[in-house]
């Protein structure tokens, strides 16, 4: 867990050190005061990047060209590992154990972290691209090379789409063969993951909602055989040229939530949709613990507001073992009544200032 976080010109947070030397940290405050910014800083220390934006310049406080966040992480053996992220003139530097590193993989291996955010609801009722993103996040935890396969697939797909728009058929065989190999790998991995979690998903949903909702993976491929996929690309070329883009492939994979043979999301309440999103994150946290054998850091950003106290207690009881958990709440939330976590440090956040509540 992180024993402290040191801020310098980070978003709206006042410069200084916040004591986080506890397994449970709670930030209370109105919306827009900086609570989520603090959770974002923890995530950045864990993974070297933000879960909210890809634009580094907006992370730096207005009027400055330099930003830093630093922390001291204590692992399971109580060994301290200092880590810091520095942005200067748009360039990012990562220091791990007092040494500059060019690779974020060193952070992935040491600081497992899961964020529960309001945008997670997109995994359930958003566009299929959000569902694929969620699955891919999970698989990367298990197989770090998966992300490179994804990038290669996307580059090949862009090139194939360009050929289609140019009405150029000459190189399609080459691209289709490569896409068939990558598509087979990517989609079969996604199906494997959904099959891995589907029973736990249904059981948890049944416990929380009384409905045994099922999660299913739907691929545009009829088979994951490389030869079958290649033939599938060939058979769909006429359609692809007519619409101007590639109509089949891993970029069309999606997830379906089913209850009594119907699309559950189409009539589920907001609370039920939020519950599905939370269950997905719980499964991700459990999976991370299973893969890394390390207790993760959990960041819960105002995601319990729409759930009744009974369901909140149930949901929190389903979390895996964690090294540290951060919560954000509105001021009038009776957080301590249902968290049941001893020795929590509780802060108030107002206008970027952080002080003991």
Q: Which residues are annotated as a binding site?
A: 29-36
Q: For 269, which DSSP code?
A: -
In angstroms, the CA 221 to CA 182 distance is 12
CB 100 within 8 A of CB 121: no
Q: Which residue has the tokens 């993989």?
A: 105
Question: Binding site for ATP: what residues are annotated?
Answer: 29-36
Cα 210 versus chain centre, distance: 27
48 contacts: CB under 8 Å, gap ≥ 6? 85, 92, 94, 104, 107
Per-residue DSSP letters for 45-101?
HHHSS-SS-S-GGGGBPTT-SEEEEEEEEE-TT--EEEEEEEEETTEEEEEETTEEE
Q: How big is the CA angle at 121 (ends 272 and 341), to the nearest 5 degrees?
A: 75
- Are 265 and 280 within 8 A, CB to CB? no
């Amino acid at each position: 867990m992180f024993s402290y976080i040191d801020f310098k010109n980070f978003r709206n947070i006042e410069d200084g050190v916040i004591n986080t030397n506890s397994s449970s940290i709670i930030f209370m405050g109105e919306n827009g005061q900086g609570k989520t910014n603090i959770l974002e800083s923890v995530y950045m220390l864990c993974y070297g990047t933000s879960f909210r934006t890809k634009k580094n310049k907006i992370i730096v406080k207005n009027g400055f060209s330099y930003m830093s966040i630093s922390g001291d992480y204590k692992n399971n053996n109580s060994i301290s590992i200092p880590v810091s992220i520095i942005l200067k003139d748009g360039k990012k530097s990562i220091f791990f154990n007092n040494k500059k590193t060019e690779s974020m993989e060193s952070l992935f291996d040491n600081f497992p972290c899961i964020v529960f955010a309001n945008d997670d609801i997109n995994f359930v009722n958003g566009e299929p691209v959000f569902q694929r993103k969620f699955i891919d996040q999970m698989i990367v935890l298990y197989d770090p090379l998966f992300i490179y396969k994804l990038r290669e697939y996307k580059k090949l797909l862009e090139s194939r789409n360009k050929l289609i728009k140019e009405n150029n058929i000459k190189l399609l065989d080459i691209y289709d063969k490569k896409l068939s190999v990558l598509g087979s790998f990517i989609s079969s991995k996604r199906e494997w993951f959904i099959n891995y979690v589907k029973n736990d998903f249904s059981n948890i949903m049944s416990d929380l909602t009384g409905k045994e909702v099922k999660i299913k993976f739907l691929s545009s491929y009829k088979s994951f055989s490389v030869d079958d996929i290649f033939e599938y690309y060939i058979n769909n070329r006429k359609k692809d040229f007519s619409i101007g883009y590639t109509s089949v492939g891993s970029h069309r994979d999606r997830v379906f939530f089913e209850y009594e043979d119907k699309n559950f999301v189409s009539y589920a309440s907001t609370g039920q949709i939020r519950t599905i999103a939370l269950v997905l994150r719980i499964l991700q946290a459990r999976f991370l613990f299973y893969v890394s054998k390390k207790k993760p850091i959990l960041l819960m950003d105002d995601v319990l507001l729409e759930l009744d106290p009974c369901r909140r207690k149930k949901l929190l009881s389903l979390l895996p073992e964690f090294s540290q958990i951060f919560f954000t709440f509105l001021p009038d939330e009776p957080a301590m009544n249902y968290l049941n976590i001893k020795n929590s440090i509780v802060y108030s956040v107002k206008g970027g200032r952080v002080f003991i509540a």
